[in-house]
Every structure is written in C-alpha cells, then in structure tokens.
Amino acid sequence: MVTRPNETPPQEFNPWLHVCSLIESAGELLGLDEGMLKRIIAPERVLEVAVPIRMDSGEVAMYTGWRIQHDTSRGPGKGGIRFHPSVNADEIAALSADMSIKCAVVNIPYGGAKGGVAVDPALLSRAELERLTRRYAFSIAPMIGPDRDIPAPDINTDTQVMSWIMDTVSMLRGQNTPGVVTGKPLAIGGTLGHAGATSLGVTICTAAILQRMGRLANEQRVVIQGYGKVGAPLVKLLSDRGMKIVGIADIRGAIHVPEGINHLRLAEHVAEAGTVVGYPGAELVPADLLFTLPSDIAIPAALGGFVTEDIAKSMSASIMVEAANGPTTGEGAAVLASRNIPVVPDVLANAGGVVASYFEWAQDLQGFMWERELFQQRLEKTMHESFNHIWARHKDLNVTLRETAIAVGVERIAEATELRGLFP
C-alpha cells in the first residue's frame, strides 16, 4: 500500500485519499510496479501561503491559499483557482491529481495543478477581492508561468480575477505575460470559444453516451445539481438537443418542473431573484432530494462529494454525467456500479474547459487568435475522440467508465514518466 499523507478517520470523506485509491486501483489494473505508482501519486510541489489583505475598514484580515502541482511529466501544470470557504490542502491536492489525469485522458500536453484560497468572496468588496487576488498571485508567482503552470478560473473566480493575476505577474516580470493564465477577457489575450466550453464538453459526452446506448435525446428527462458557470449553460445546450430539464438546484434549493424548464424564462428569473427557487410553476423540493425526482439523466454540476452512498441508492436516473469535479464519493460510485448505472466521469465529461484552456494558451504563445468556428470544431473533435477511446477501452478492460478513464490517464502519465527517467 502506498503511504498517503493527511490520513483522516474513515467516516470522513477525504478527496485526496479518494483520488489516491482511484490511482492505486488503476495501477493494479495496469500492472504498474509500486515505485512507478508512488511517483504518480505524490504531488511534485505543494505551496501553502498566507494571504494578508487590508480591508476597506483599515483592518488586516488573514487568509490561507495553496498552489499544488501534482505532475508535470506530460507538460506544464494546468488547473483552476477557486475562492471558497471549504478550500483546504486535501481538496486542492485531489483536484490537482484530477487535472493530471484529465489532461492525459484528453491527450493534451499538460500536467495537473490546482490552487485556491479559503475565503468567501461574497463577503468581500470588489476592492478587497482585487487585493486578495493580487496578494495571492504575488505569493504563487514563482510557481506559475506559460512554461511552468497555467491557472484558470474555477469556483468563484472569473475573467476579472484572471486579469488581475495576469497583470500582477506581468508587473513582477517586467513584461506582458498573457500566457500565464487562461480564461481571460478577449481584450487581453482571451479566446472566442472559452466561455461555456466545459458545458459544451458535458453536452457532447451526454449525447455520445445516449447514442452508444441507443437512446433518443428527445426522450430524456434531465436533473442538474448546480446553476453556476457550468450548470446554467447546460440548461440551454441540453434543451437545444431536445432533452427536457425537469429539475435543477442551486444553493438556495431545488425546483421540479415535470413538463420541462424553459431556459430563457429560467435565466430571466435567476437574473431577477438570484436563485432558481421561485421559478413560475415549479414545485420546491429539498436540494438533497433532487436526484430522486423522476428522470433519465442526472448531472452533478456543483461542489465535490455530493453523490454519497445514500444519494446513489435513491437516484432515479439511469445515467449520470459528472459536470462537477469529484462529485461522487467512493461509496457512491460503488452503489452506482452495483445498480448498473453508467457514469461518464468528471475527468472526461468536464474536460471541455481544459481543452479550451489549452487552445487559448496555444493562441497566446502563437500571438494568433483562431476563428470561433475553428475553435469549436477542434474542441468537439477532441472530446469525441476522447470519449470514443475511453468507450473502446471500457469494453476491452470490462470495467466501469470511471475505472477506464482513470486507467487511461494513469497509463499515459506512467508512459511519460518512464520515458523521462529518474533524475539524477
């Protein structure tokens, strides 16, 4: 057994230990030796930083941030930055390992990294948020760069936060460095197709598994947990393909509309009310009962660890597509497998975002912006090829889609690690 840091009592869900167990299982499936497995599991670099900022009141507040590079054998680190009260070292380590596997699954030349600050940005003014972002960027600046580690938006971070990070690093280095982050505004080196790319990738994977299972899109009822940067575009994208969105949840609650939710009306309602709750004609249901609603496809699109053993046991849908990072616990995954519910795992389903980031990074290095049509064409091609490869290996290996995807990612990381050798 590989030694794992930060052990916690077994009753607590620890995302880092969960990812370690997935990699270990993949290693056993692939027949990797223990030395290689140790190298793949251990993060290469872990940086914890204090983030002091001066509040508008004049007082000084202290926050803690992290940037973790899990593996760079296949290329520079890649992964988002999240601002959320729940952020901790285990969560960031797990997400960085997820990114290593995800980038390998879609076969782009990146390793995995992740960052974040334990803070509730909703409690900060815009000026306080900028100071927090710039101080955090200053602290992690030695680790990041176009050829080292390229952050991107994640939970509670956006194009403006990326702009502040890019500007801070550019000022430190005395030159414009647009390739240091992706997910930027167009005016400073962003790309035409990045917005909504994660949701598009989820949509492509959802359509692909329906096709593989011989099911028609216009006969599918969908429930989505989360109405944020990923969940909100999904309502429109899936509706456009004929699927009926019958339930959706956000942090305020969940709604049920058996006849289907109109994406335009929902967007207008949320713009006014700030929540999906209160959508005209909808039945209000407890958020933890969302996946019990009569449906065919369940899509977790919020924070990790939502699909527990109990949620998996009560799930009504016969397919799950993971739009969120790490939304399913090990116990939850075991229940879904025992119920023969196929799951398109996060390392494949939501990889559209990192593929788009790769394209943006390439354009920044080239100094040439692609047309939107070319961007979308290449994104769809990459996602389709990745899904088809995972599906074929899934049939060969005779394991779940999640186990297959993790195995493919670990296999590609192991190949790069073996080819590069061990220094010195």
Contact 68, 113 (CB under 8 A): yes
Instruction: Mark whether 47 and 160 lie in a shared domain.
Output: yes
Instruction: Mark whether 218 and 342 lie in a shared domain.
Output: yes
Residues 112 and 149: their CA atoms lie apart, in Å, by 9
Residue 5 lies in a domain: no
Provide the terminal-to-terminal Cα distance of the chain, rounded to the nearest Å: 26
Instruction: Mark whether 217 and 333 lie in a shared domain.
Output: yes
Domain span at 38: 31-180
Cα 420 versus chain centre, distance: 28
Residues 37 and 79: their CA atoms lie apart, in Å, by 22
Residue 409 lies in a domain: no
Please give the structure tokens belonging to residue 37: 């497995």
pLDDT in tens, the chain (424 residues): 334 444 444 457 788 998 999 999 999 999 999 999 999 999 999 999 999 999 999 999 999 999 999 999 999 999 999 999 999 999 999 999 999 999 999 999 999 999 999 999 999 999 999 999 999 999 999 999 999 999 999 999 999 999 999 999 999 999 999 999 999 999 999 998 888 899 999 999 999 999 999 999 999 999 999 999 999 999 999 999 999 999 999 999 999 999 999 999 999 999 999 999 999 999 999 999 999 999 999 999 998 889 999 999 999 999 999 999 889 999 999 999 999 999 999 999 999 999 999 999 999 999 999 999 999 999 999 999 999 999 999 999 999 999 999 999 999 999 999 999 999 9
Contact 387, 348 (CB under 8 A): yes
Residues 132 and 124: their CA atoms lie apart, in Å, by 9
Residues designated as active site: 114
Instruction: Mark whether 158 and 226 lie in a shared domain.
Output: no
User: For the chain, give me the number of helices (H) and strands (E)?
Assistant: 14, 12
CATH number, domain of 333, equals: 3.40.50.720
Instruction: Mark whether 117 and 150 lie in a shared domain.
Output: yes
Please give the structure tokens belonging to residue 192: 């035409």
Contact 375, 192 (CB under 8 A): yes
Please name the residues in contact with 224: beta carbons below 8 A apart, sequence gap of 6 or more: 231, 234, 235, 245, 247, 248, 249, 299, 301, 323
Of 180, 205, 234, the residue at which a domain comes to its end is 180
Of residues 355, 422, 345, 341, the one with CA closest to residue 385: 355
Please give the structure tokens belonging to residue 117: 């600050």
Residues 235 and 160: their CA atoms lie apart, in Å, by 25
Instruction: Mark whether 101 and 235 lie in a shared domain.
Output: no
Of residues 388, 57, 338, the one with CA closest to residue 204: 388
Please give the structure tokens belonging to residue 249: 């949840």
Please name the residues in contact with 55: beta carbons below 8 A apart, sequence gap of 6 or more: 61, 128
Residues 394 and 399: their CA atoms lie apart, in Å, by 6
Sign of CA dihedral 9, 11, 15, 19: positive
Of 314, 349, 384, the residue at which a domain comes to its end is 349
Contact 414, 36 (CB under 8 A): yes
Q: What pLDDT does residue 96 have?
A: 97
Instruction: Mark whether 175 and 203 lie in a shared domain.
Output: no
Residue 275 lies in a domain: yes
Please give the structure tokens belonging to residue 339: 């119920």
Counted domains in the chain: 2
**DSSP states of 334-401:** HHHHHTT--EE-HHHHTTHHHHHHHHHHHHHHHT-PPPHHHHHHHHHHHHHHHHHHHHHHHHHHTS-H
Instruction: Mark whether 147 and 217 lie in a shared domain.
Output: no
DSSP 301: -
Please name the residues in contact with 251: beta carbons below 8 A apart, sequence gap of 6 or more: 275
The 3-class SS string of 15-79 reads HHHHHHHHHHHHHHHHCCCHHHHHHHHCCCEEEEEEEEEECCCCCEEEEEEEEEEEECCCCCEEE
Contact 353, 323 (CB under 8 A): no
Residues 403 and 30: their CA atoms lie apart, in Å, by 11
Residue 26 lies in a domain: no
Residue 297 lies in a domain: yes
Instruction: Mark whether 168 and 206 lie in a shared domain.
Output: no
DSSP 290: G
Instruction: Mark whether 253 and 333 lie in a shared domain.
Output: yes
Q: Give buried/exposed letters for 281-296 (b at 16+ CB in 10 A, else e).
A: ebeebebeebbbbebb
Q: Kindly list the distances between the CA atom of residue 213 and the CA atoms of 174, 208, 307, 319, 339, in Å, as whole numbers in the listed order.
A: 54, 9, 23, 10, 16
Residue 259 lies in a domain: yes
Residue 100 lies in a domain: yes
The whole-model pTM stands at 0.92
Q: What pLDDT does residue 11 have?
A: 56
Instruction: Mark whether 128 and 214 lie in a shared domain.
Output: no
Q: What pLDDT does residue 10 have?
A: 45
Instruction: Mark whether 231 and 343 lie in a shared domain.
Output: yes
Q: What pLDDT does residue 12 have?
A: 74
CATH number, domain of 114, equals: 3.40.50.10860
Of 293, 320, 349, the residue at which a domain comes to its end is 349
Identify the bridge partners of residue 300 per DSSP, sorted by sequence position. Answer: 225
Residue 337 lies in a domain: yes
Identify the bridge partners of residue 145 per DSSP, sorted by sequence position. Answer: 149
